[in-house]
Amino acid sequence: MVLTGCLQELEDAHIISRIQYQEIPPRVEYSLTTEGKELVENLDNMRAWGTMIFAKYPEGLEKIK
């Protein structure tokens, strides 16, 4: 999938917002929405949890590999 398609899907899911400026050359800015920021926070919490679990049970990491 190309970048524009990925960005459109994220915009449709209300994860990012898009602002298009009427300038030459054209300029577009993307930013995280409130929902996008919440998603990032939850993903970071999951990453931290996974890091903690793999440190506590390293044999589990070997099973995944």
Query: What domains sit in the chain, N to C, each tagged with a CATH number?
Result: 3-64 (1.10.10.10)
> Please, which pLDDT band fits residue 5 given cuts at 50, 70 and 90?
very high
Residue 22, helix vs strand vs coil:
coil
pLDDT at 58: 80
pLDDT of residue 64: 64
What's the pLDDT score for residue 65? 60
**Element of type H or E holding 38:** helix 34-56
Q: Quickly tell me which residue has 């996008």 as its tokens.
A: 36
Cα angle: 12, vertex 14, 17; to 5 degrees:
95
